Amino acid sequence: MKLTGNTIFITGGGSGIGRGLAEALHKQGNKVIIGGRRRSQLDQVVTANPGMAAVELDITDAAGIGLVAAQLIADYPDLNVLINNAGIMQPDQAGAQIDDALMVSTISTNLMGPIRMTSALIDHLKTRNDAVVAYTSSVLAFVPLAATAVYSSTKAALHSYILSQRFMLRDTTVRVLEIAPPWVRTDLMNSREAEQAMPLEAFIDETIAALETDADEILVEGARLFRGNPGPGEHALVNGFNAQMMEVLGG
């Protein structure tokens, strides 16, 4: 991915990985627009990064996504990069009755949202040089965390969709990238102080370096073991990982 001279829209850019990517890419000389539900968070990021812009966006609102996409194309016709980063993560009970509202909210945010956002912008992106659609998935797409089974399954589904979209766009100017973070110190699952999680700054630095390569999957070193897991023996790592995490999370 070309790291300078882009016009980039990042969903979920008000905090965590989204904010980290937005600020790093802003410093590289790109025009960065962030989207999110909380106006106060967006304003804080824009104030801290003069020249950045923001739009309010509820990624679960199909009509709202269409309106935001139209606004972006009108206001920023050079838009050539979309980073689908917005997501939510909540504990659930795959071994018991699943909370239906939690399930619907997670699927709407983590899977339907990025598919809808990309769909709304894809025809425009096909007209741009150096166009990129990137998705923040997770290593949990490959090794699910049983305590967040719905979240993990949305990331696995997103990975599958990315593979299909990359194939379908193979003869266009649009590259499709997947950023698959390990556990990172963000507000997701109150992980900001988790010692086992990767510091956000280190994750962003490694990710920006990987984005500059020709890789389709953007993996920091700590994610590679998880990415290499799928296969006939995958349950050995899944079970061992979850046994360890149950101890960490106190489950």
SS3 sequence of 60-90: CCHHHHHHHHHHHHHHCCCCCEEEECCCCCC
Give the pairing type, strands 31-36 and 217-218.
Answer: unpaired
Set 76, 135, 151, 161: catalytic member: 151
Question: Token digits for 4?
Answer: 């300078």
Q: How many CB atoms lie within 10 A of CB 105?
A: 15
Look up residue 19 and give its amino acid. Answer: R
- 76 as an active site residue: the answer is no
Cα distance between residue 181 and residue 138, in whole Å: 5
Q: Which residues are catalytic?
A: 151
